[in-house]
Structure 1
Amino acid sequence: MPNGDTAVVPLFRTMKRLPGGLMLIPLVLGSLIGTLAPGALDIGSFTTALFKDSALPLIALLIFATGTQVTLRTGGPVLATTGVVLLCKSIVPGAAIVALGAVVGPDGILGVSILALLTAATNANGGLWLAVTGQYGDERDRGAYIAGAVNDGPFFALLFLGASGLGEIPLLALLAAIVPFLLGVLVGNLDGQWRATLRPVPDIVIPFFAFALGTGIDLGDVASGGLTGIVLGVLITPVTGGLVYLGYRLLLRRGAESGLGFAAGTTSGNSIATPAIVASADPAFGPYVGAATSQAAACVLVTAVLAPTLASWALKRGGALTPRQDTSEAPA
């Protein structure tokens, strides 16, 4: 019988070997189930609860567990890293897209509306970020996951459209997104045993919530996004991930580790719902919802493949593609 250190088939080791594999492989598998057999996971009870409806609670647990790893010693660097990721991944691209919209109007360019651009570019796949930084980063990078909690979903799209007089800013939703992280910071600093206990949580929950998110992605929608959605996805990683890379290199002075920034160049699975949410706030965007949704779905899958690939390439080129040991403090 195999013990905990051996495997008949090295499933987990193979997933860990692929950059972002803990997130990417279950996401793709889930999308296949969601496309080919969408009703297979609707049989109810624990099956539906775990494999289809678990994304939000498991992500919340991950945010809490990540917070417990942020100590008084690492809090400053974590906040600095989070700020740089938000600035370079969401704020700078969002401002540029709004400026473009002022020139070309809401129709956007080349069949990609301003709504689709904001949906795809201003949020990030936090699970994939944790999967990559969990392999090659440290507590500063993993703690910056909170940037994904802030920019996930419609918040920044509404924020930037609101700057033009459209939509509402869901401040309560923003607060709700960061409360688990703040509670985790509190608990981890009060009791080091909780910090030690929750340290393995990312490896446990990422594959499960990635699969659940994947079941909500219909590959038919990805195909209907056509070439425009695929091209948009191909551009998101080098452009927005490249900005975070520059932020790591120029603002955080992380040197060879700056390649981690490309792991932020993704589109979150939750972004697929953003166009409809924006249109509910301002019906003027209704005509753009269908195309923007399918283009966002394409971006989710394309960036989930491209971002970890570019990050590992940049880290390897800098000589930093070496799995790191956790440097968090030992439990008290």
Structure 2
Amino acid sequence: MADPGRSTVPLFTTMSRIPGGLMLVPLVLGSLIGTFAPGALDIGSFTTALFKDSALPLIALLIFATGTQVTMRTGGPVLATTGVVLLGKSVIPGLLIVALGAFVGPEGILGVSILALFSAVTNSNGGLWLAVTGQYGRARDRGAYIAGAVNDGPFFTLLFLGASGLGQIPFLAMLAALIPFILGVVVGNIDAQWRETLKPVPNIVIPFFAFALGTGIDLSEVVSGGLTGIVLGVLITPLTGGLVYLGYRFLLRRGNESPIGFAAGTTSGNAVATPAVVAAADPSFQAYAATATSQVAACVLVTALLAPLMASWLLKRNGAAAAIAQSEDAEARA
């Protein structure tokens, strides 16, 4: 007689063994559907709602649940970690791109425009960060998703190009991204039972919102981005993730746990729309928008593959992954 508690096909276990697999596998599957059968999920009702349109509400739920896990004891480390991620992933790279633009102009370098650089480099995939830190990180790392809420989309691109008159900085949009987290922090600190109830949320929602995000990635755009987009994606993880790694090691003094910083070396899926947003604000960038969009799409997929692999490999090599898991279990029992 079969054991009712035993999986016939261990899908969840297999996905969990892949670095960032809870997000990466559904993301790739969704992108295959979005590329080869884009209309398959448009039949309406619950099918479309769950598998195509659910990304934003499920990410919002994850953000709220993450906030409930941030207690007064962990709040300081969360803000410090968030600052380090923003510094290494957005601020320093953005300033370097500004300096490069002063020398080469908007055309950029080696077929990659300044618009493409800003769009791909200065933001990070918050969902992937939550997936990787949920598997290998601590509560302070998961709470640092705030960096992804701040740098997601066109915010930093518009900020760094603001001197060119590229429209208003969307502070209201940034505030809207932070409100679910703030409410989660409040609820988690006044009611421990809610904090405990929402602890399993990441494993539940990450595969579903990852699939929905994937349906918006057309692999033909990744291909059209060509070698320049792929090379840019390959460089983003070690360079920007490396800056966050250095912040972890020398500013946060996380020692063997510092490689978790490489999980920030990604490009957000929402960044694909950034070139069009910038071009709408300043038509002088219109000539670069189409190529930049395809290059950014390539970066989204390449960094989603590379960042979790690099972070997990270095964490395991340092022996930090097992130590973090044991420490988190001990804290949960305390």
Q: TM-score category by the smaller chain?
A: over 0.9
Match of 1:22 in 2: 22
1:106-255 matches, within 5 Å, as 106-255=106-255
SS in 1 for 2:72: coil
How much does 1:327 deviate?
5.7
- Offset from partner CA, 1:96-129 (integer Å, 9 cap, x none): 1111111111111011011110111111111111
- Taking the aligned partners of 1:328 and 1:304, their CA distance within structure 2 comes to 31
Task: Give how far 1:279 is off.
Answer: 1.2
1:131-169 per-position Cα deviation (integer Å, ceiling 9, x unaligned) = 111111110101111111111111111111114433321
CA drift of 1:280 comes to 1.4
In structure 2, give the amino acid aligned to 1:291.
T
| Alignment coverage as a number of residue pairs | 331
Q: TM-score scaled to structure 2, two decimals?
A: 0.96
Distance (whole Å) between structure 1 residues aligned to residue 3 and residue 154 of structure 2? 46
Q: How far apart in 1 are the matches of 2:163 and 2:209? A: 33
Question: How far 1:25 sits from its partner (Å)?
Answer: 0.5
User: More deviation in 167-176 or 30-39?
Assistant: 167-176
Cα 1:23/1:112, change in 2 over 3 Å: same
Amino acid at match of 1:169: I
What percent of counterpart residues are identical?
A: 79
Q: Which protein is richer in helix relative to its size?
A: 2
What's the Cα RMSD here?
Answer: 1.6
Q: CA deviation at 1:284?
A: 1.4
Written as runs of structure 1 = structure 2, the 5 A alignment for 1:284-303 is 284-303=284-303
Q: 1:198 to 1:99 in 2, by over 3 A?
A: same
Question: 2:45 corresponds to which residue?
Answer: 45
After superposition, give the CA deviation of every residue in 1:238-280 in whole Å (9 maximum; x if it has no partner): 0000000000000000000001000100011111111111111
Contact 2:166 2:278 in 1 (8 A): no
CA distance in 2, matches of 1:327, 1:10: 23
Instruction: Give the corresponding residue for 1:6.
Output: 6
Residue 320 of structure 1 corresponds to which residue in structure 2? 320
CA distance in 2, matches of 1:234, 1:254: 25
Indicate conservation of the 8 Å contact 2:262/2:308, yes or no. yes
Instruction: Give the Cα separation in 1 of the matches to 2:194 and 2:258.
Output: 30
> In 2 relative to 1, CA 327–74 (structure 1 residues): closer, same or farther, beyond 3 Å?
farther
Q: Deviations over 1:24-80 (max 9, x none)?
A: 100000000000000000000000011001111111111111101000000000100
Supply the distance in 1 between the matched residues of 2:81 and 2:221 (Cα, whole angstroms).
34
Residues 298-332 of structure 1: CA deviation (Å, up to 9, x unaligned): 01110011001111121123221326154697699
CA distance in 2, matches of 1:274, 1:198: 33
Structure 2 Cα separation of the partners of residues 280 and 259 of structure 1: 38
Counterpart CA distance in 2 for 1:317 and 1:138 is: 18
The answer to whether the Cα contact below 8 Å between 1:161 and 1:167 also exists between their aligned partners in 2 is: no
Moved more, 90-99 or 230-239: 90-99
- Assess if the C-alpha contact under 8 Å between 2:269 and 2:300 holds in 1: yes
Q: Give structure 1 regions of 4+ aligned residues with deviation exceeding 4 angstroms.
A: 327-332
